Amino acid sequence: MKKVFPYLLTLAAFGIILMGCTGNHSPKKKQPLKYEMNMKKTVFGNVDDKQVFEFTLTNKNGVEVKILNYGGLVTHLMVPDKKGTIEDVVLGYDSLQDYIKDTPYFGAIVGRYGNRIANGQFSIDGKTFNLAKNNGPNHLHGGIKGFDKIVWDAEDFIKPEAAGVILTYLSPDNEEGYPGNLNIKITYTLTNENELKIDYEAETDKPTVLNLTHHSYFNLKGHGNGDILDHRMQIFADRFTPVDADLIPTGELKEVEGSAMDFRTPAAIGARIAQVEGGYDHNYVLNNTDGNIRLVAKVIEPETGRSMEVYTDQPGIQFYSGNFLDGSNIGKGGKPYKKHFGFCLETQHFPDSPNHENFPTTILRPGEKYKTQTVYKFGVTE
């Protein structure tokens, strides 16, 4: 034992030294992933005994978007200017009740059919379908209770480089007069590249028509901070679809060249608006319609330097200059929204396409998948 004891002491000392170097032998706890994105979910109210949630997405640059599962509404979109000052650049309301009672479609998902259908009527395979006439003699933006008035099922997600909300809804057969049970999924994603991506997917069990779009009113000065007439607009379209007195396309695809409709090179929205009866509320026939996503429009606000680019795979875009705003819409922070205080760029198929054989078809049949993407990307320019 005399010889063994010093040997044991040596081993014990070695063990103490080893533990001092390596720490204890308990397994290390996994460190939580650190995201540059942020996500918050809060209760915003109730509609028809269903909870309405507000999802707040924030990226590493301080860009923030707030989305409701009621109507898929984008209620706030905070982006920096060239000095780093962050402003909310979309029109909207402070309360859920204001969104429920009013119908300018501020920030909404629009469907089943975005834009107008003449006389609220269309035919598929020789069968005629009748829709609500909620815009004079015509059907507009999905009817009396379109997708802007629905409480969607919602699921949020967050990744290191992006965060978002997935909205789903089953639109039953004959809802607002449209045929077919329509399963819809819409995904909003905010990225660290200051992109707000909107992915639309849908399937039906009967032939139907479908034209989904997003209806934010933008003002790159900040909502309620004056009109948008000095914003410089560029739309990559050689043609547009002229309309009649009820804003229904005549069927003609007309060249923009030499007219107030020409935004192929950047021009102030207000520069020629007086030449357009009622203001801009027209569908542009986008160039390079090959089904691929591409840059289709760009807007710059000269004072703040804020810019917005629009990318889509759709054949058309509706440019609306806020002509029907009249100051009666009291928006966030008590700000009245007057005429031309916001503009819309709604990516879409053409208005009234079901009644024009020469327009790209909007018919969706069983076994087919409706899938399209639009991206609004924000930046600054000197």
Q: How far is CA 150 from CA 11, 91, 255, in A?
A: 73, 20, 38
Distance CA 371, CA 202 (A): 7
Helix (H) or strand (E) holding 54: strand 50-58
Instruction: Compute, in degrees rounded to 10, the torsion defined by CA atoms 375, 335, 269, 86.
Output: -50
Asked if 346 is an active-site residue, the reply is yes
Tally of CB atoms within 10 A around 87: 17
Alpha carbon distance 211, 154 (integer Å): 21
- The DSSP element (H or E) to which 9 belongs, if any, is helix 4-22
To the query of whether residue 193 is one of the catalytic residues in this protein, the response is: no
Of these residues, 64, 76, 346, 349, which one is catalytic? 346
d(C-alpha 227, C-alpha 218), whole Å: 10
CA distance 315 to 196: 20
In contact, 55 and 63? CB cutoff 8 Å: no
3-state secondary structure of 382: coil
Q: Helix, strand or coil for residue 105?
A: coil
Q: 214, 215, 223, 356: which one is catalytic?
A: 215
Q: Please name which of 146, 149, 148 lies closest in space to residue 117, comparing C-alpha atoms.
A: 146
Cβ(374)–Cβ(314) under 8 Å?
A: yes
Identify whether the C-beta of residue 349 lies closer than 8 Å to the C-beta of residue 315.
yes
Active site residues: 215, 346
